[in-house]
């Protein structure tokens, strides 16, 4: 069945659709030996589709999941204290996957899980800095705390990259912040808020890079699309 080449490249994990269009415009994609253009179609089961001379095949070997981690689950495959683990929530996926990065016991939200060791290593390496966005419900003097959160901060004597902090909502029960960071230090957002005199009541990761949690219900998981996998592999 013929499909647009942008979709095929995305499904193969070779590029996001937007990047695939750039590859096509640059003449880097061929179909049966002929240069392809944006908008062209091909049959991935029948045609010889190549990017920079390399044949493209759809990924089959690995599993990539997005989990909406609930509060009260540890981000491990097992726990010596008998606490509930995120592994219990993805047992039905058909593969032995592990978490990429972490969310602490009391935090919620987007957690990537996979059985792709190479991708896990790259995404968790200190040199790989990707934006992570959190919704944070806090109590305290937010007006005084915001300049602290937005200014120069350090943890354990190490300077942090400036965070983007936005006040989203003010309520009698507390305020809601959007906090965007690049590092992934242990309990970083909670420790930043503590340094700013704010008490975190709830913390939810809503985005990691280009991947957004969206409307995925708490405790549920879904498989990443080919385009989402390509976005992870591009960085």
Active site residues: 104
Structure tokens belonging to residue 42: 């091909």
- Which letter does DSSP use for residue 94 in this model? S
Structure tokens belonging to residue 229: 């996998």
C-alpha span between 202 and 233 (Å, rounded): 31
C-alpha span between 51 and 16 (Å, rounded): 13
Give the start-end residues of each E strand in 119-173.
Answer: 132-139, 154-155, 158-159, 164-171
- The H-assigned helical ranges of the chain are 5-11, 17-25, 117-124, 142-150, 188-195, 226-234
- Opening angle at CA 111, ends 100 and 228, nearest 5: 85
At what angle are helices 188-195 and 142-150 packed, to 10 degrees?
120
For 88, phi then psi, to 5°, come to -65, -30
């Amino acid at each position: 069945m013929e499909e647009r080449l942008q979709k095929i490249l995305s499904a193969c994990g070779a590029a996001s659709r937007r990047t695939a269009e750039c590859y096509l415009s640059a003449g880097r994609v061929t179909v049966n030996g002929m240069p392809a253009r944006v908008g062209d179609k091909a049959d991935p089961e029948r045609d010889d589709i190549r990017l920079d001379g390399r044949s493209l095949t759809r990924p089959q070997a690995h599993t990539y999941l997005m989990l909406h981690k609930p509060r009260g689950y540890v981000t491990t495959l097992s726990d010596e204290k008998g606490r509930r683990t995120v592994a219990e929530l993805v047992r039905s996926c058909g593969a032995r996957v592990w978490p990429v990065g972490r969310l602490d016991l009391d935090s919620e939200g987007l957690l990537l899980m996979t059985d792709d060791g190479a991708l896990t290593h790259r995404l968790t390496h200190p040199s790989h800095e990707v934006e992570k966005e959190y919704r944070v419900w806090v109590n305290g003097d937010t007006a005084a705390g915001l300049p602290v959160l937005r200014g120069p901060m350090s943890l354990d004597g190490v300077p942090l990259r400036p965070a983007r902090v936005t006040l989203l909502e003010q309520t009698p029960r507390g305020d809601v912040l959007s906090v965007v960071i690049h590092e992934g230090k242990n309990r970083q957002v909670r420790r930043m808020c503590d340094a700013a005199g704010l008490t975190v009541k709830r913390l939810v990761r809503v985005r990691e890079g280009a991947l957004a949690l969206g409307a995925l219900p708490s405790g549920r998981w879904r498989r990443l699309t080919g385009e989402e996998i390509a976005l992870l592999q591009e960085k």
